[in-house]
Structure formats: structure tokens, C-alpha cells
Structure 1
Amino acid sequence: MGKTLVIVESPAKAKTINQYLNNNYVVKSSIGHIRDLPKSNHYILKKHKMMIPNEKNNQTKKIDKQLSSIIKRMGIDPYNNWEANYQIIPGKEKIAKELKVLAKQADHIYLATDLDREGEAIAWHLQKIIGGNDDRFSRVIFNEITENKILKAFKNPIKLNINRVNAQQARRFMDRIVGYMVSPLLWKKVARGLSAGRVQSVAVRLIAEREQKIKTFIPKEYWKLQANFKTSRNKEIKMDITHFNKEIFHLENQNDVSYHIELLKKLSYKITNIEIKKISIKPPAPYITSTLQQAANIYLGFSVKKTMLIAQRLYEAGYITYMRTDSTNISEEALENVRNYILEKFGNKYINKCAIIYNNKNSQEAHEAIRPSNINLCAEKLIKTIELDARKLYELIWCQFIACQMTEAQYELTILTSTADKYKLQSKERILIFDGWNRILPKKRHEHSKFFDVKDIKVGDNICLKKLLPNQYFTKPISRFTEASLVKELEKMGIGRPSTYSTIISTIQDRGYIRIENHRFYIEKIGEIVTNCLKKNFSELIDYNFTAYMENNLDKIANNKVEWKQVLNNFFENFIKQLNEAEKKPQEGGMPVNNMVLVSLDCPLCSRKMGIRNASTGVFLGCSGYDLKSKNCCKKTINLILENKIINNLKNEFDEISSLVTRKRCQKCNTVMDIYITTDSKYKVYICGNNPRCDGSEIEKGRFNLEENNYINIKCDKCYSKMNFKIGRFGKYLSCINCKNARKILKDGNIAPPTEVPVPFPELLCEKSNDYFVLRNSSTGIFFSASTFPKLRETRAPLVEELKRFINRLPNNLKYLAAAPSTDPEGNKTIIRYNRDKKQQYIVSIKKGKKTNWSAFYTKGKWQEAKN
């Protein structure tokens, strides 16, 4: 009997699965996708007319050379029945060759990639690359990597689901069409370096429209009035004044407050009603992808990307079920296990008579919710197995799953009412009387304050007014998106699917259309301009309902309810019509161009007016005489930086509301103006938030650099000349007047450590490419990276034994690291790490690729083992 080949997409997954299969199985990893459409830079479109496929026979009409070139670069041909040019991904040739050799030696091949559409597509590509009779291949799927589920899956193999593969291809092709055909148009009409995405542009639109609402919002003043009383038993209570003349009590300004305070001081008060009622709160549903991302962002501060990376590792190690799901379904076996656990650990009163079933009407996949694979494995038992962040996420999942089957939490709500003349006052208090599912979830989610004890108060009691407490407020604009709230909004609108939320958010950040400050999304000006251009000429493409409609179409393809190429043809036909229209001149209905807006400042070189320009690199002032066709072309520019980036004064929502009240508004459209400071600190430039649609602007001359004096005596670490304080596109920094050496100023005001020339280690080769490692020193310590970093982003921590081997190559300030122990007492190798709190390098040992609990720090001139 020959060997059986099992192919998965992850080395960690392969390692876990290999534990449960006998020696007749060879488990190999493809390390993700092994075949894809060709990678290429977007082609810049010249003016030409695009055509659409013939609806009857899908044959192409005559296509010009420019369009043929685009099709070649895209790797898909919408004019030739959507023929695709799939290629081995560069760097994966060796893996593909090895899998082909192993496949020839195997009697049978099992494709055990993930159970979502992406996993199905990887399996299909593997089958195509290996080739041969389809009967040699079987598909195995499982939603948790445990021995029971793995063996069960291999006993019941299935065939590849080509419908799910086609759904993945349809998504990929549509995204490719938009990216390769709209992006060059943005280069031509707006600015170079821009890109568009079918779903990502919709997410940017959400953030852009929220930004617009915030900038145009005018806060209105209002007041609330509270009163402190003492009861006849000398107990203090606090009440809100809620009604006046049987209408909701509303105070618009301080005059209203003063008027009512004078009246209230003269009145006597009596308790007129005490209402007590019981409230039951049902336990939360188990996590699905979106709710896990939201919870991890809110409670752990994890980004969506970080959450999914950690969840992927937990799944591949066999600790949790599959993490890309929109289903709250729980298997019967898991229900039985968790109910037995609750009964054993907490007793009868914490378990319902029947299991709680959570229905998710929007679920498109027959997956389970995200839950622990072994309910008896709590986070504390994983201290030596996984890192701290992974334990935190595992505990979040574990607690949520147990809580979802526990009894309701019981609260007692007491509403205390008092009246005086035309006024009505109330105080509410909610007390937990039975914790139920609160027993297992973090208590910080359910904290409450106690304002009074109802036992000390009776109806008819007189209460004595001690103090009136007026508080000023302003109406709030809609809140900015956080990663958690953006995922929630995307899910609510039906945009994207569990497997795409992380990619959507990562992509819009990488493209530079949005930025994150204090965990909130802000739209960059170029992102706002691109959104407005797409809304004008591609209104259907970035329409919320249309995007959700296309997601439903993809689901229908996966369920074999519609033909995938017909969906693509319909999409492409409408898309090309819009693209042809957008190609026209603006006055003919085409996409508007990104024109400059002139300001009152004269160009320091040629005295012509400067203008506000928006590019992919940011907002800047450019001379209006810039025209490459003219002999008198002036290329003078002045960089601008947002004032908020310099002084960082919008740390929370309250600061932002205060800013909306005090900031200048455009005299033309009453929108809040963005405030920029020129990098020479001589001018403050106020630009209408609606720029370039509105040309409102003001310029103020002065000296606006308040921090320069803090860095007067800083000397260059290389030539010891004076360093000047400057502000650039990427923030504050110091620049040497002699050798142009630069050092970044960190957010806390400290100067970043001097940059060092990377030390080459050609003997140490990268694992994922043909590159070699260099040693780099950053503000967060030393690390090995590919020599072509950041083009190739392979990085890792240095082994102490490697530094010992090449000690003569190290700069003097790092040679102490080579003196560290190269192994721990048990013989495990040590690596270099950086402690952010202590701001120093230290060493830890690793065993089977994971950190142990052993560590050592360099203290008082020698390496000393840390005491845990």
C-alpha cells in the first residue's frame, strides 16, 4: 500500500493534523495560495472606447491594442468567456514542484484546506496544478482541528465544490476589473498613485460621508439640572429634573438655568411614587467573525487584523473552531459538553432546562459559531503553550461560549419619583440580584452605581433640597468609526463577508485614504476627493445596496442558483458603460479633475499665486505657475501638516465636540475649516472642509511652532553639528544643518534613537525568498529583516548564538548582546527581544518555535536570569 498525500494551506495546521494521522499519510502545506492571477502594475489608460461582450454569443468585437494590453495585465479576459491566466505565485515554484513529486508517489490525495470559499479555491488550484484523474482527489473539511473531527472527516470525504470555487473566482474577477480599470482613470483625473476597489471604496465612502456629517454639524448648547436631597432619615439621594408642565424639561442656555433654579429653590419636595420591577437579560450569542472582531477591539484593544491572525493560530493549533463564520449554530455534541460543564462547575441554578438555540437568519454558510474545541481547556492551562495575547483572545471566546448557555441575569429596577409644583423629578437604579451568565463574563461590562437604598424611602416622605447641579452640554455629531463599529456597519449593510472584513480594513489603511488616531478613523483629503469622484461617475459601483446585492449574487453562485459568468457579464456590461462616461471631459459629464484652489499667498520664487493641491502624498501648496508645457514653469511647493497632528489635541470625543464649537467655519458654506501649518511654521492655513468643491480659505501669518525651543541644544550624533526642529509629512523631526542626518521625534516628545546602518549577514538566508538577512536597529530594538525590506517583509528575532558567531561585525553598542547566554539551563536556544516598559533588550528561550518562561536581562554590567 502506497502513501496518501494530504495537502493543507498552513504549516501549523499540517503539524497539528499530522499528530492524528498514521504513518501512511504524508501531510504537506502549500503555504497559502499557490496559484493566482499575474501581479502587475496598473496600466495607465489612454483615451479609447471600451466595448462590452456580445450578449448572445459572448464573442468579442474588435478590441484596440490599449485594451488588449490591459486584459493581458489583468490576467482575465471578459471578452473571451472570462478566460483566466492563472500562474504559479512567484516564490512558490519550489513548493509546487515538491507537491507534484509527492502526488505522483501517492495512491490518493486529500485536499484539507479551510472550509470557506477561499479554502475551496486553494484546493481547486492545487488539483489543477497537480493534474491527473479527478478520482485521485478527495476533499475533507472540518470546523475544528481535533482528533475526533479529523478522523471523522477522513472517513467521510467529499468532492470539490466547484460552485464555491466559482463564487470565489467571480469575486476575484470583479475586484480585478475595478482595480485595473478604475485606478488608472484616477491617476489621470485626480492624482498619481491612487487605486480603487469594488468593496474597499464602499468602506471608504462610509468613512468619508461620516466625516462630512461631522464637519457640517453645528453643535447646539443645552443644559441638564440635577438636585441633591436629604431624606427624613438623613440619607442622601440624587435626582434628575425630567419634566416641567408635563413636558420634557429642556434648558437651552444659562438664562433658562438661572430662571428655573430660582423657582426650584422656593419649592418643597415629596416622594410621590416608588416603582420596582424585575428585569431579565438574556445571555449573549456565541461569537461569529464580526462580533469577535468587535469584542476584541473593544475589550482587548486588538485591531481586526491582529484578531484574525491570532484566531487563525488558535484554530490551526486545535484550540478553537473555524474563525471565519457568520453562523451562531452550535453542534449537539458541543451543546452537551458545555451544559455538562456549567452543571458541574456552577450548579443547577445556572443551567437552563433546555439548550438555547441561536438563529442567524443572515447566515449563508453551514458553519458553527466560534467556540473552544475543548470546553475543559481554560486559558490558565495554556500559559506554557501560547503567548499572552492569544490567551486573552482564547479566554474571550471561551467565556462567551459558556455564557451563551447559562441562565438569564436578573436585575431589580427601582424608579423613584418626586414632584414639586409643575416639576417632576426621577432617579433610577438597577441592582443585580442574580448574576446568571454574568458569573462567567468580565464584570467590568456590567458595573453599576448605587444612588439610594429604597428601604430608607417611602411614598409620601418629604425630602429636603440641598443643592442644584446645572451641567452644560452640546449636541454631538455622529461618532467616528472605530474598527469595531465599522465592522458592525459593514455587516449590518450586507457589505463583505466574514472572510473579507479584515482585508477591507487593512486595505483602506494601506492605500492612505484613511488614518487612525486614538482608535478612530479619519478620512484623508485625497480619500474624500476620490470618493466624490466615484460617486459622480460610478454611483452604482459604490452604492451600498448594489454592493450588498452583489454579495447576495456571490452567495447564489456558491449555492448553484445562478450561473457565475452571467453574473460577471451583467456586472461588466454596466461597469464599462460607466467607465466610458467617466473617461469624457468634465464638462461632458466625465469624472471631474483635481484642480487646485488659489489662495492669497504669493509664490516666494515667481510671485504668482499659490494654490491648494491634493495628492496621494497629502495636501500642499503649489505655485499656480506649474505647467510643464510652459517655459516659465514654476515648481515651487510648500508642504502642509494638519495642526492636530502637531499638537495632538483631539484625544477623545469631548475634545472633538469642543473643537467643532471653537474652530473657524468657512464663510462660504459654513463647514468647519481644516487647519494646516506650513512646515517652516510661518503660516497657518485654514482650508474649507469641502475643498476642492468649495474654495474657501484663509491664511494667517505668524510663528506657530511652539515646541522649537525644547530642542535648541540638540547635537547631531554623527557630525556633532546643530540640529534644527522641523515638521514634515510624517510628523516632527530634527535635521542636521551639516550632514542632513535626521532623527524622528516620538509622540511622547522624546527623540528616537539614532538610526544605524543595517549590518549585512549574507550567511543567513531568508526562508521565504532568495534574499539574505541584515541586522536593523529600531526604536523597538534589533531585528533581522530581508536586505530589501520593506519590499520583502520577512523578519525574525536574532538568535544569541548567531550574534556570538559574528560578534566582530556588530557595532560596539550591541556587542553586549553577544555576551548573553546562547541557551537556557534546559538547553533551549535564546533569542533577542525588546521590553517596551523597561526600554531595553533582553533574551528569552524558545522551544519548538514558542517562547518559554525563562528570560534574562542585562543588569549592572552582566546578564542575570529574571525571576518569574
Structure 2
Amino acid sequence: MKLIIVESPTKARTIEGFLDKEYQVTSSYGHVRDLPRGNIGVDVDEGTFEPKYVIPTKVRKRVTQLKKLAQKADRIILATDEDREGEAIAWHLIQALELPEDKVDRIVFHEITKDAIQHALAHPRSINTGLVDAQQARRVLDRLVGYKLSPFLWKKIANRLSAGRVQSVAVRLIVDRENEVRAFTSEKYWTIEAVFSDFEAALIKVGDEAFPKPGMKDKKEAEHIVHILKKSDFTVACVVRKQKHRSPLPPFITSTLQQEASRRLWFSARQTMRIAQKLYERGLITYMRTDSTNISKESLQAARAWIKKELGSTYALPEPRVFKKKSRLAQEAHEAIRPTNPSSVPQSMGGKVIPKLEEREVKLYDLIWRRFIASQLPQALFNQISVDIIAVSDNNEYTLRATGRSTQFDGFLKIWEQKISTNELPPLSDGDKLTLNQVRADEHETEPPPRYNEASLIKVLEEYGIGRPSTYAPIISVIQERNYVERDERRRFQPTEIGEIVNNMLTEHFSQIVDISFTANMEENLDDISQGKKEWKKIIAAFYDPFARNLEKKYEEVEKREFIQKDKETDEKCEKCGKPMVIKMSRFGKFIACTGFPECRNTKSYLDESNTFGDCSDCEDGKIIRRKTKKGRFFYGCSNYPDCEFASWKKPGSEEEEPEEKPEEEVEKPT
């Protein structure tokens, strides 16, 4: 018997369906060894940084079962995922199950299809120690930062706070953007538009000087120009026709899939990866953690065959479109995220229903399929016309411009829906006289830089080189779970008060931890380790030794009052013991507590006036406040909860509900 071990039962069932009875496929249910939960689990005292792995209690029974199966097998084949995490799981299985090396094969594949599995079985390899070392280095780095820095935050700020190596940089980006928003001063400006019979034109030049961008800041001057133009004659001076094209985007990599699923489907990064994992394990898409846009020759041929058959030869490219590597470290052996079978058309395109797929899985598969097929379709072609119009008045010349665009050939847009503005102009020629209907000065206001949402945060993390395909979703989840950031009504991130306090502390006293360049450089070090170019323990030592010395120094230097205001007195008296109540800070933000602590443990919610929305109509005593469910959806409830159970999705005075977060399970009711 040949035993194949994978991570998940679903993956095991899919693979087993492709093989004969000679093989038994089972799953480890994820990692079988990890660092201990009760202590740091890394040898820092001797400076070896050797991890002290343990088999967690919850998987000991499974490890025993796997050992028994392995003893009965002639060969043990480790078929965990092909990335660092998967390689580490395979290595840990060898250690935990005490497998003899001469009985073990390692196979990898980036899609779960019969051909891919058979090809992998025919080409086994040994464990890639570079990938294992890179995973160990990341795990140890994160453990050292978390276990050493978090107690410092407990002592200097508030109990049970935590610090993370990469997550702290993400929080800093959000705090920096929030500071930009606060510092921004809005300014009014005016643009000038002329309305003709069936089109509009914007003023672009006064005399020889270009009209200022984004517009004119002097309202009176803008109104003066409007007054002049109302009395002017308008003549077409120049008509320019051009053909423009737009190319399709590459097939998805992890970051772009998360961004597009956020924009189009409102999925969080974590949801996207969970759903993609299910699609992968069902054999419907290729591996979903990748930074390569490479596509196999066979899948390109299959896509071209489908395009030619279903859309016609007009839409079939003479040669496959190849995309450049987005990352310098993208591995060409890996592929982009694509459907394993392009002929498995989604329902929205008239395809058959894929059995046992949930609604969200159908939507994500549809997105992946369309993006892949679109990447092998021709460019979209547009006819663009630009018309310059001259108005002469008061010995000055005013130039206005109108632009129009119409679609000549839809190309990839036939499959990939994209918002592209098209507006056609009437037939116009040089010298045509135009009749003015209206001219106006439109008022605008400059806007602050936008807060990050999930899509834009992932994009900027990728641009800075922070994180890798496997880490974007965990980064975004953790910073919210730790209450360092929250999302506003438009699902954009903003820091919480405690998030800003922790960020300010780290920025001032542990600048490396939140330094973008340092974090990006560490990611490159991990990449070099994975390729066998650097030794992982030396990288850890180079980071840890100065970090530990600085931490020891900061315990002596930093005073708690630097970052946390002294408890603020209130006018309230404790209803239980009569002592004064004060405003205190915790990892969840401000709260009101009795000064009789620990004898009296009475606490109350702190009501921030900016977060209250009038009196509660049910109990007539509490205030309506904006709160958040465990799954991230905002609702409005009474400050006297649990004594008053009023709760609503609707903001008081509004008929619109807060948007759903669309979690894996049903959205819970506000409680």
C-alpha cells in the first residue's frame, strides 16, 4: 500500500478519486507540530535560535493514527501544498511520524487534476530545505517579536496588547494615512463648462496660458470668464480622431484576486482565500497562493480552443499572450490562478451547474474564469475624437475641448466587464459654428487622500514588498482582531485610539519594527533563505541581538505616562460603592471604572459623543451607539445593553442599513 498524506480531507477525497486501490489518501488536518503556546519556544539564551517544536494536544490522536498507517505502508508520499507552509508541513510530518527517509517521497502540483497528480507521482523529489528554513525563519521572527515586545506594551500601555512584526507596519500605513486626512485642508475650485446642443466642452486655455488644474481658485474670476463666454461666438478649430486600445489584465495572482474580490464581490481577503482553497481542493482552480502570472502551454491551448469554438476566430489570438513577471522572485514553475479546465464554463456564461458549490464559491469561480479567458482575448478598440473649440472676446481667445469615445471592437470586454466611459459626439468639422445653450462655473472641493480599504491596502503592501501571497489575508485579519484598526461606514480602515497609541510607541522607540524598508528587506532575506542563498539563523541573530538590547534599554527609559493619559476623573459616582468613577484605557479603548478597584470591580462603557446617535426610544435612558458584531458588521444598539436589548442595522434617521460583511456563515443578527 502507498500512503499519500495531504493537509485536508477535501483535498484527500479529490485526489483519491483519481487513483486506484494501490493508494490510500489521508489528511493531517494541517500542521502536526508547532511552537508551544505557554512559552517562547525558541533558544535565545544560548543564541542558537533553535525552535523547540511540540505536538499540540489537539492533534496528538491524529499523529498516532498517521503513525499506524505509515507503518503499514510500503511508501509514504507527502503531497502537501507547494509553498513554504506546505513544505514545512511535509517536513514536520517526517519528524513527528519518525518516517525513514528511504520510504518517503515528496510530490508537488499546482492543480488537483488526474494528469497533474499522475505527473507528480512520476516525478517525486526530496524535501526542499530552503523552503522549510524560510518558513521556520518567519515563524521564529514573529514569535520573538510577539513574545518579547507584547509584555513591554502590557507594562507601558495596557494589559493584553500584542505586537506583530509585519502587522505593525500595516497599522503604521493606516495611521500615517489618517494623519494625512486630518492635516488636509479642503479648498474650493471652479471649472468652466460650455453646453451646446448635444454635448459639453470644458475650458482648457485662456490665451496662451493653460487653465489651472484642477481648476480656478478665484470664484469671481471664474464668474467673469463665464460672463464673457456668454456673449461669445464659438467655432470648431480642430477635430482630431484617434484609435485607442485597452489591453486585458493578466490572470490573477493572490494579491490581485484579493483586490478584485474585495471590489467586485465585497469579500474580505480572508474570505477570498477560504473560498479559493475550497475551489482548489475540489480541483476547479490552480493553487491560490502565487505571485506568478505564468500559464502552462496546455491551458493556453485549451483556452484558445474554447474561444475559437464559442466566440469565433475574430476573438482568437494568433499567438498566446504572455505576461511579464510582476515579482522578481516569482517562480516560473508556478502558475497564475486559473480554472483547471477552461471548458468548465460558469453558469453566468451559460455553463452547467457545478455540483455542491455554494453561492460565494460560484461567484469567485466566475471571477477567476472570466479573468483567465479575458487574458487571452484581443485588445478592446475605441474610436476617440477630440474637438477644440475657440471663443474670441475682449481681444482674448478661449479654448474649450470636448472628447468623445465609441467602441469599435469589444475584444476582452466581451468576457471581462469593466467600467469604461463612452460618449459619442455629433459629426463636427473644422470651422463649424456652434450654438451655445449654457455656460457655467462648476464648484468643486479638493478631497483628502482616501483611507485604505482592503483592496488598496493589499496593493500598497505588495508595492512596498511587505508580506507575500500567503500573508496578506492574515495581516488584514489580525490588525482588526487586535482592535488596532476598524472600518468606517464605507469599509475603509481607520486606526482606533489604542492602535494609534501602540503605533506611536513603536514608531518612537522601536522604529525598525514599523520601518517599511526594513520590513521589505526582511522579506527579501526570507526569499533568499528559500533559495538557499542565506542561512536562516544568521538572519535571525542579526535582527534579534540589537532588538533585545534596545528592548532592555526601553524598559528603563520609557514611562507609561508618555503615551497614556492619567486616569481622568468624571462627575459620576459608582452605583455599587459610591466612590468616584474615572476614565481608563484598555486594549479595547476607553472605559469607565470605579476607583475602589480591586474591592469594587464595577465598570461601564465609555460614551464618545462622536459615536452617539441620540437617546434610546426603548428604555429612554441609554444612548444609541454604533457597535460591531463579532463578524465585523456595524449595527446600532443601546448603551444600556444588556439591560436594554434595542438593536438595529439602520442608523437612526436613515432608511439605509449598514452593509453586510458577507462572512462565510450567515450574517448574525445584532445582539
Q: TM-score, normalised by structure 1?
A: 0.69
Aligned pair in 2 of structure 1 residues 749, 547: CA closer, same or farther (>3 Å)?
closer
Q: Deviations over 1:451-475 (max 9, x none)?
A: 522x2x2111111221123322111
Deviations 1:134-183 (A, max 9, x none): 11111010000000000110111110111110100000000000000111
1:190 aligns with 2:175: no
Q: Decide which of 421, 425, 449 is 1:452's aligned counterpart.
A: 425
CA distance 1:644–1:297, change in 2 (3 Å): farther
The whole-number CA distance in structure 2 between the counterparts of 1:156 and 1:86 is 31
**Secondary structure of 2:386's match?**
strand
Shift of 1:634: 11
Please, which runs of 5 or more residues in structure 2 have no aligned partner? 628-634, 653-659
SS in 1 for 2:159: coil
Structure 2 residue aligned with 1:521: 493
Equivalent residue, structure 2, for 1:27: 25
Aligned twin of 2:527? 555
Q: Tell me the distance in 2 between the aligned counterparts of 1:598 and 1:220.
A: 39
By percentage of residues, which structure has more strand? 1
**Corresponding residue for residue 655 of structure 2:** none
Q: Contact between 1:282 and 1:409, CA under 8 Å: does it hold in 2?
A: yes
Contact kept, 8 Å, 2:403 with 2:425, in 1: the verdict is no
1:467 aligns with 2:465: no
TM-aligned CA deviation for residue 77 of structure 1:
0.9
Corresponding position of 2:408 = 433
| Structure 2 residue 498 is matched with structure 1 residue 596 | no
The answer to whether the aligner puts 1:87 opposite 2:54 as a matched pair is: yes
Q: 1-side partners of 2:131 and 2:413: how far apart?
A: 40
Counterpart of 1:320 (choices 285, 294, 298) is 285
CA distance, structure 2, for counterparts of residue 275 and residue 356 of structure 1: 31
For 1:591 and 1:641, locate their aligned partners in 2 and report how far apart those are by CA, in whole Å: 24
Displacement of 1:352 in angstroms is: 2.2
Contact 1:640 1:729 in 2 (8 A): no
SS at match of 2:251: coil
The match for 1:410 is 381
1:223 aligned residue: 190
Q: Give, in whole Å, the separation in 2 of the partners of 1:11 and 1:429.
A: 56
Match of 2:644 in 1: 742
1:406 to partner: Cα distance = 1.2
Identify the residue that residue 260 of structure 2 maps to in structure 1. 295
* CA distance in structure 2 between the aligned counterparts of 1:595 and 1:274, rounded to whole angstroms: 65
One-letter amino acid of the structure 2 residue matched with residue 385 of structure 1 = K
- Structure 2 residue aligned with 1:543: 515
- How far off is 1:302 after superposition? 0.9
**Residue 728 of structure 1, CA deviation:** 5.9
Deviations 1:341-378 (A, max 9, x none): 22222222212222111121514333100000001001
Please tell me whether residue 360 in structure 1 is matched to residue 329 in structure 2: no
Which residue does 2:203 correspond to in 1? 241
DSSP-derived class of the 2:505 partner: helix
**SS of equivalent residue, structure 2 residue 143:** helix
Cα drift, residue 611 of structure 1: 7.9
AA at the equivalent of 1:580 = E
Please say if residues 112 and 286 of structure 2, whose CA atoms lie closer than 8 Å, have aligned partners that are also in contact. yes
Task: Give the letter aligned to residue 414 of structure 2.
Answer: R
Distance 2:330 2:601 in 1: 55
Work out the CA distance in 1 between the residues paired with 2:74 and 2:354: 41
- What pairs with 1:600-611 in structure 2 (closer than 5 Å)? 603-605=571-573
Q: Is this contact kept in 2: 1:583–1:591, CA < 8 A? A: no
TM (normalized to structure 2)?
0.89
* Rounded Cα–Cα distance in structure 2 between residues aligned with 1:213 and 1:560: 41
Asked which structure has the greater CA Rg, the reply is 1
Unaligned runs of 5+ in 1: 41-72, 231-235, 648-704, 715-721, 751-779, 781-794, 797-833, 840-868
Partner residue, 2:548? 576
CA contact (8 A) 1:328 1:368 kept: yes
Distance 1:413 1:609 in 2: 72
Note the 1:320-719 alignment, pairs <5 A: 320-362=285-327, 363-365=329-331, 366-380=333-347, 381-421=352-392, 422-442=397-417, 445-453=418-426, 455=427, 457-517=428-488, 518-586=490-558, 593-596=562-565, 603-605=571-573, 613-620=584-591, 639-643=605-609, 645-647=611-613, 705=614, 707-708=615-616, 711=617, 714=618
Q: Is the 8 A contact 1:113 1:119 kept in 2?
A: yes
Q: CA contact under 8 A between 2:505 and 2:563: conserved in structure 1? A: no
Deviation at 1:339, TM superposition (A): 1.6
Tell me the CA shift for residue 747 of structure 1.
2.3
Q: Measure, in 2, the Cα distance between the counterparts of 1:612 and 1:414.
A: 64
Query: Which residue is equivalent to 1:792?
Result: none
Instruction: Please give the root-mean-square deviation of Cα atoms over the aligned residues, in Å.
Output: 2.8
Q: Percent identity?
A: 39
Q: Provide the rounded CA distance (Å) in 2 between the counterparts of 1:328 and 1:246.
A: 47
Query: Is the Cα contact below 8 Å between 1:382 and 1:391 reproduced in 2?
Result: no
- C-alpha distance in structure 2 between counterparts of 1:741 and 1:349, whole Å: 68
**Matches of 2:443 and 2:130, distance apart in 1:** 60
State which drifts further: 164-173 or 79-88. 79-88
Give 3-state SS (helix, strand or coil) of 2:2's partner.
strand
